[in-house]
Each structure stands twice: as structure tokens, then as C-alpha cells.
Amino acid sequence: MIAPYDTKCGPLVSVLVPTFNRRRYLREALESLVRQTHAHFEAFVVNDGGEPVADLVASFNDPRLVMLDRRENRGKAASLNEALQHARGKYVAYLDDDDRYYPRHLAALIEALESQDNCQAAYTDLYKVHCRIEPDGSRQVLGKVVNISRDFDRFFLCHFNHVLHVSLAHRRDLLARTGLYNENLRVLIDWDMTRRLAFFTDFLHLPEVTGEFYGPEGACDRISYRMRLDKVEYLKQVLTIRTARPAKPWPKMPDLSLIYLPDTMDAAAGETLRHIWLWTFMPYEVYLPLPPRQISRLDTDMPALVPVHVPDGTTRAARLNAALARATGDYVAVVTPSVRVQEMWVEKALYAATRDAEGKTAYALAPAEDGWTALVVRRDILASARAARPNAGLRESLEAAGISLRGPDPTQLPFQFDELLLNAQALEAEGAWLLAARSYAEIGRRYGNQRWMRERAAAAYFHDGAHNEEALSICRELNATQPTVSTVLLEAKLLKGAGKFDEALALLNQAEAILSSER
């Protein structure tokens, strides 16, 4: 029995290793695990009904490796859940059967998590190993690139998973609040969990490469990859993830109550609801205040839809008040019939509202119509305003309560980092390398993601050709603390260009060593 905490070794980490028909690569994955400098872990290797691997696991003769063998193939989520039933560690970490940790992977994560109280989850950077599968099944490495190195961004995580599961460790007790893995999902199982974790904790990003995962060229054997080829099924799974709502309270995630106010439940209203379901990526519930006769016309299995029954002939103001009385979100979006629902339709206003400390502003979603404006505002503020003027139009009640109404200004929009990044990439595509380099440097200064932006700046300076000193200076700085194959190679090219062949050679040998073997 491994102790949950050891004063010499630190906290116990439960490492979950689901596997299915990858016996060939599993040995390397487990070898990387038993070489961890943080040795205080228990690992659960769950064979999901694939070819036998118990003998392989036993060959390690390591009591920390526990084999959970089952005949039936039930999917990765079920494997992870089965492992979690046995886990006793303070932290949980993940290792897929074809991935590899570097020796400091667990140590880096656990040291970071133990040294602060704000974040109960942390993640590192990983190399994506581009490889060619040879006829004998061996993997020929074509390149190792850190293809995602992004500081934690809750809004962004709700839209796209920027935290690779293999790079993640988190407190196990968080799972009591998130719930277990969703066994109905076949793709994006990892994102579903990281997204749910983000309801309860911030994530700490350690921009240190601590492992690698494989990306074969051409068609891939990964189950998740094959599942994505069915676009309809994929979209259904994405929508399932986006509408997942763990039990409250959510200390870290804003909850949005969408109060939709169609005058009648006609085809246009049904289409608007469908678009809300399709496009909204922050957690929400839709409140639909209509007479039961109208609501019964609704034919949808949309989750997070809350019918609010009101008598026939109820005014729009009264319907708003009825829905508001039921709403539980931190923020309310009042959605009038004229609102055009499309990508980012409500998130811009919501993002602005969440960053408005006073909450004395409502953020418009669409132009006004008949004294009614679609908007996002804090629920408590709107509730006070409506309580004071229950029969008034929306704008009138807000004005009376001293709530100003406007659109978000550019500095309040989400994804500013991504907008600027796309602009810098467009400059690169036009050959404006110097401008691109300066853009990356500025983006890094203003929006974080320093390592990533500095690497891009160095590459752009190099392409510019006239600013190799800047490129070299950045590369040297990065390689002194956080070298990657890309930055080491770039520094070598710069030194070679300057005729310093000995120095370039040393760096190229360093890059070759990383590419040719594990670290």
C-alpha cells in the first residue's frame, strides 16, 4: 500500500493510463513514468478490452503500477472513471498509452501546485512529435514542436481546449464537484473535463516542456481523430460539452441566464433557439417566458432550456420579470426577437460585464427596438431596477436605476490576444517580417504568453534578415532557461550565418539529441 502522503516524497499522485491496442508504445510510456523524479505515485493502467498488456505491466515489477484489466471495450471515459474509483492521490495526472513524460514532469507540476493556493490545477507544455510510421510500426521523428503554449484563459477554454490532458495535474477532490468523465462522449473527452474543472479553479501554466505526444503524418489511428470525421456526430458532442453544467456553486465561472422574449413561439423563435444552442459557448440557461399553449409548440431536446409559464396576454415587461424571478445566473442576457444570434453573439457583452467591477453598466447586444434593448447586465442590478419599475420598458427601468447602456469598447472584448495574433500572422504572410516581430513582442508584453510570443518574434526577426542581433538575443535568453528544438535550431542558424560554426554545431547537436531520443 502506498502512503497518501510521505513527508520525504511529498503528496501521492494518481496517474491514469488508459490503453487500447497500443501494446507497442505502452512500454515506452510506462518506462517514462517509472523514471519520474517525483517517485511518489500510483499508476492505474486500464486495458479497455484491447490486446493483453498485463504481462507487460508485470514485467516492470513495480508495485506502483496497478493493472485494471477488462474484457469489454467501453471507451476512454469509462477507463478513466474506473481508474478514478481506485485513486487515492491528492493529485491526478494523465498519461496516454502512446505519450511520454520527461523525468521532471510530475515534479514540475506538483512543486508548482504545492507552492501556491490559488490554483488547484496546473499544466506544462509538451512537444507534439510529428512522425512517420514505418512499415514495421516504428516511429520516425520528423520534428518536435510545442504547438500549444498558452496561458490559462477561461473564456478561451470554454471555446477551445488549450490544455492538453497529458500535460495536466489537478487536485483529485475537484472531481467531487466536476463529476466524473462523461461516458457518452467519444471525442473531446479531455476538453469536457478541463472545461468543467475551470468552473472551480484557475489553472497554472508552466511554460516548460515536460513530455511529448505523437502526431503521425497522414491518416491517424487515434479513436478521437476517426470520430471527428463524422461531422454531425462531432458537432453533437461539442454541443453536449458546451451545455454541461456541473452542480453549483461555481466560484470561478460566470453563469449566464438568457431570457428570450419572443412574442409568440413561431418558426423564427424556434430558429433563434436553435442558433443559441449552436453558437453560445459560455455556460448558460435559456429562460422562455410564454404561455403554456405557446411553449407546447416547441419541439426540441435543447438542454438548459427552462420554460417559464405565464398567462395568455402577459406583457413583455411582466414576462421579463417572471423569468428574472426564476433566473439563477450571475448575469442576465435579455434577448429580444430582433437579435441576430451568431458566433460570439453574447460573449463579447458578457466578457465586458464580467470585467466591470461596479456593474453599473449594461452592455448592448443589438440596436434598440420599442424601448427594449437586448443586453447583458448583472442579474442583481437588473433585478433591483425591475423591482423599482416593474411595468416599465427595459431601457426606462435601467435609466431610472442609473444604469448606463452601451456596447463594449474595444479594450473590453474577449480574445484580443487572438485578434492581434492573427494580425501579426497576416503581416508575416505579407512578408512584413519586422512589423510582425514587433507585433509579437508587444502582444507578449500586453497579453502574456511571453515564451510563445518571444519565440515568434525571434523567428520573424530572423526572416526579416536585417535584425539578426535581436533574433539572437531573444533565442539566447529563451534557450538559457526554456530551450525547445525550434529555438535551439533558430539560434544555430543565426550563429552559422555569422560564421560561428563551432557554436552552431554545439546547438545543433543539442537539437539532434532532443529529436533522436527522450530526455
Partner 1 sequence: MELTTEGFVVEEGMDQHYDVLKELGDCHTMLGNFDRARQCYEEAALLAKDRPGPHVGRGVVAMQTGCHDEAERAFNEALRLDDNCAEAYGGLAMLYQQRAEYPKAFDYYLKSLDRNTDNLVALLGLFQTACQMGSFAKVIHYLNVYLERHPGDVSVLFCLATLYSHDGRLDEATEAIQTILTLDASNAEAVQLLKEVERKRAQASSEAASR
Distance CA 149, CA 495 (A): 26
Q: Is 241 in the site for partner 1 (CB under 8 A)?
A: no
Q: Is 319 in the site for partner 1 (CB under 8 A)?
A: no
Smallest separation (angstroms) from partner 1 to the CB of 127: 9
All cell numbers assigned to 249:
456553486
Smallest separation (angstroms) from partner 1 to the CB of 58: 35
All cell numbers assigned to 446:
500586453
Interface pattern 146-165 for partner 1 (x via CB under 8 A): xxx-x--------xx-x---
SS (H, E, C) 131-155: EEECCCCCEEEEEEECCCCCCCCHH
- Binding partner 1 by CB under 8 A: which of 28, 151, 183, 418? 418
Place of cell 488547484: 120
Q: Is 519 in the site for partner 1 (CB under 8 A)?
A: no
Amino acid 104 reads R
Coil, helix or strand for 68? strand
Residue whose CB is less far from partner 1, 45 or 241: 241
Q: Is 511 in the site for partner 1 (CB under 8 A)?
A: yes
Spatial contact of 4 and 13, defined as CB atoms under 8 Å apart: no
**CA distances in angstroms from 375 to 329, 388, 412, listed in the order given:** 14, 19, 15
Residue whose CB is less far from partner 1, 234 or 415: 415
Smallest separation (angstroms) from partner 1 to the CB of 485: 6
From the list 4-12, 145-153, 177-185, 355-363, the region that binds partner 1 by CB under 8 A is 145-153
Q: Is 144 in the site for partner 1 (CB under 8 A)?
A: yes
Count of residues interacting with partner 1 (CB under 8 A): 39
All cell numbers assigned to 132:
512517420
268-272: long-range contacts, CB 8 A cutoff, minimum separation 24: 268/337, 269/337, 270/298, 270/299, 270/300, 272/335, 272/337, 272/339, 272/341
Amino acid 250 reads W
Q: Is 235 in the site for partner 1 (CB under 8 A)?
A: no
Q: Is 140 in the site for partner 1 (CB under 8 A)?
A: yes
Coil, helix or strand for 253? coil
From the list 101-109, 180-188, 225-233, 497-505, the region that binds partner 1 by CB under 8 A is 497-505
According to CB under 8 A, which residues from 428 to 487 bind partner 1?
A: 485-486
Smallest separation (angstroms) from partner 1 to the CB of 46: 28
Q: Is 2 in the site for partner 1 (CB under 8 A)?
A: no
State the Cα angle at 314 between 312 and 316, rounded to 5°. Answer: 135
Q: Is 60 in the site for partner 1 (CB under 8 A)?
A: no
CA atoms within 13 A on the CB side of 517: 4
- Binding partner 1 by CB under 8 A: which of 425, 450, 473, 479? 425
Spatial contact of 129 and 220, defined as CB atoms under 8 Å apart: no
Residue whose CB is less far from partner 1, 60 or 279: 279
Q: Is 421 in the site for partner 1 (CB under 8 A)?
A: yes
DSSP 408: P
Interface pattern 117-136 for partner 1 (x via CB under 8 A): -----------x-x------
What's the gap between Cα 119 and its chain centre? 15
From the list 54-62, 203-211, 312-320, 495-503, the region that binds partner 1 by CB under 8 A is 495-503
235: left (phi over 0), alpha (psi -120 to 50) or beta: alpha
Residue whose CB is less far from partner 1, 22 or 162: 162
Whether the bond between 249 and the residue before it is cis, its omega within 30 degrees of 0, is yes
According to CB under 8 A, which residues from 341 to 380 bind partner 1?
A: 343-344
Residue whose CB is less far from partner 1, 316 or 493: 493
Q: Is 493 in the site for partner 1 (CB under 8 A)?
A: yes
Spatial contact of 458 and 488, defined as CB atoms under 8 Å apart: no
Q: Is 179 in the site for partner 1 (CB under 8 A)?
A: no
Residues in the chain: 519
What's the gap between Cα 396 and its chain centre? 39
DSSP 47: E
Distance CA 346, CA 330 (A): 14
Residue whose CB is less far from partner 1, 3 or 422: 422
Q: Is 143 in the site for partner 1 (CB under 8 A)?
A: yes
Binding-site ranges for partner 1 (CB under 8 A): 128, 130, 140-148, 150, 159-160, 162, 217, 343-344, 415, 418-419, 421-422, 425, 485-486, 489, 492-493, 496, 501-502, 504-505, 508-509, 511-512, 515
